[in-house]
Amino acid sequence: MIKTKKQGILIVLSAPSGCGKTTVSQILKEQNKNIWESISVTSREKRKGEQDGVDYYFVTQEQFQQDIQKGEFLEYASFAGNYYGTPKTEVEKHLNQGQDVLLVIEIQGALQIKEKVPHALFIFLLPPSMKELKRRLESRNTETKEQVMKRFETAYREINEMPKYNYVVVNDDAHVAASKLDAIITAEKCRVDRIEEVYLNTEEEKIHETLVDKDLENKPITFMNQK
């Protein structure tokens, strides 16, 4: 009886660095095959094991700045001296095809999206504790001690932006966190403002018309001014 809108939902997932948003998003995509994750463009150096076009699209700072001028990004932000951005064309294409699009982006970029697309779904991922977050950052062994401390200090500031999101999920277990995200997406699709129309099939219409006709036969005609 309910016809939902064909266009997919734009899902924005943010978290301080080290909260496990990459792992959670990968599990979520395994659980929900209708989700397409946008690949961000970045000007930072490629880390060991990362692949261009898989983890990120890696470009120079000059190329990124040129793309900003061309309006190629749905959002972009500068973080730790590097640019990160979401290609606009690909996101719009997948949404129009009915796929839900997942953006795993920094908080700066997420707040840009909120200004442009306020009806998008915004989810904030938290660590179980700040102590655990520090441990995760240190265990990655991809940055210097000074860089780790800078990310840890940044996390405190970013958590203050949490009230601007629609939902918050604590990542104490990646599979449980992903299941919660999937449940949130399902609930969002049941919202009345995401329904395109309510319709009745032929048999339902016949039953409805029969009931209405019988009701009218037994109901006396009254006028607004009649006492």
Mean pLDDT estimate for the chain: 83
Sign of CA dihedral 141, 142, 145, 147: negative
pLDDT, tens digit, for every residue of 76-90?
988 778 999 999 999
> Given this model, what pLDDT does residue 43 score?
96
Backbone angles phi, psi at 58, to 5 degrees: -95, 125
Locus of tokens 């200004």? 115
* CA count, 13 A, side-chain hemisphere, 76: 22
- 66 has pLDDT over 60: yes
Strand pairing report for 41-42 and 57-58? parallel
Q: What is the pLDDT of residue 95?
A: 94
Average pLDDT on 126-140 reads: 76
**Mean pLDDT on 118-130:** 90
End-to-end CA distance of the chain: 39
Distance in angstroms (rounded) separating the CA atoms of residues 36 and 27: 13
pLDDT band at 40 (very low <50, low <70, confident <90, very high): very high
> pLDDT tens digit string along 176-211?
999 999 999 999 988 887 776 555 555 655 655 566
Convert the pLDDT of each residue in 140-181 to its tens digit. Answer: 666 677 776 776 677 778 888 999 999 999 999 999 999 999
What is the percent of the chain where pLDDT is above 90?
52
Report the predicted TM-score, pTM, of the whole model to 2 decimal places.
0.75
Pick the CATH number of 2-196 from 3.40.50.300, 3.40.50.150, 1.10.357.10, 3.30.70.3420: 3.40.50.300
Other beta carbons within 10 angstroms of residue 9's beta carbon come to 21
Q: What is the pLDDT of residues 45-62, one digit of tens each?
A: 998 899 999 989 999 999
What was the pLDDT predicted at 227? 46
Query: Can you tell me the distance from the alpha carbon of 87 to that of 30, in angstroms, rounded to the nearest whole number?
Result: 23
pLDDT the model gives residue 106: 84
pLDDT on residue 219? 54
Q: Where are the domains positioned within the chain?
A: 2-196
Residue 163 zone, left/alpha/beta (φ > 0; ψ -120 to 50; rest)? alpha
Find the DSSP H helices in the chain: 21-31, 61-70, 88-96, 107-116, 130-139, 145-159, 174-189, 202-218
The reported pLDDT for the residue numbered 80 is 77
